[in-house]
Amino acid sequence: MIKKILLTLTILFSLLSIGGVDAEASGVYDGYIDHWGNFVPGYISNETWMTPAPTYMTGNLVFYGPYAMDATAEYRGIDYEKEGCIGGVSLMSPIDIGKKVWVKVDKTWYGPFCVVDCARRGDMYSIVVFRDEVIEVNFDFALELGMVSPHREDGSYDVYEWRKESVVVYVKNCDGGYPDLLSDEYRNPVDYSDFFLDGLSFIGFEQNVPYPRDNYMYWQTANGETVYTDFRKNVPCEVLKFKDG
């Protein structure tokens, strides 16, 4: 129990600094070395960070440690049972929090999962470009896939497989319906790393990070536009834009 409480507090602290690197303080606009030791050529823009995931995409699957995903879902008020989800996952962009996804590992589809977390802004480049990640799953699902052993009382566990490569992720905006196996998008999933690089942009000035309120999140674009998105309700699960003034 103490282990779970400490981990939950750690997660809550990280959520309060969802943007990751402090751009203003650390001078990262011309590039920086991240905490994995990778050189990142600039600080990605909110526009890049807030780009919705493609409907069908492919990349690597990794996993969260015990309790971490569930604690994040609880913090954000996302109830798996109420939403009809079998667990929680993290995609890359905050814009996708609140959506539902299915994951194809080998030849089997699993889902729906609730998207409850995202990559921190300062980490997104490395996670996508260097690690080719498309999704991070909860510990219980990693256990089901045989990637890890059951965790011990102290929270430790054995890792048998650090990642599943070339999984397919189906992002369903709201209702979490089963993937359309006849669609062209299904037959030709987008490589998420290529998708990210195609839309990549950096900034040379400070932008405020997305800030969650009761039932929505808002942030500011480079041209001063304020953007709001619902991330806790099934409907409409779409972005609404309101220009300042």
> How high is the pLDDT of residue 132?
98
16: pLDDT strictly greater than 90? no
Name the domain count of the chain: 1
> How high is the pLDDT of residue 26?
55
The answer to whether residue 138 sits within a structural domain is yes
pTM score, whole prediction = 0.80
Which has the higher per-residue pLDDT, 201 or 238? 201
The answer to whether residue 7 sits within a structural domain is yes
The answer to whether residue 220 sits within a structural domain is no
In angstroms, the CA 125 to CA 131 distance is 9
The answer to whether residue 234 sits within a structural domain is no
The answer to whether residue 240 sits within a structural domain is no
Q: Which domain holds residue 164?
A: 2-211
The answer to whether residue 163 sits within a structural domain is yes
Angle, in degrees to the nearest 10, between helices 2-16 and 68-75: 60
Mean pLDDT of 65-81: 93
The answer to whether residue 63 sits within a structural domain is yes
Residue pLDDT, tens place only, 112-136:
999 999 999 999 999 999 999 999 9
Half-sphere CA count of 11, side-chain side, radius 13 A? 22
Q: DSSP for 13-49?
A: HHHHTTT-S-HHHHT-TT-EE-TTS-EE-SEEPHHHH
Mean pLDDT of 141-145: 98
187: pLDDT strictly greater than 70? yes
158 near 83, Cβ under 8 Å?
A: no
The answer to whether residue 226 sits within a structural domain is no
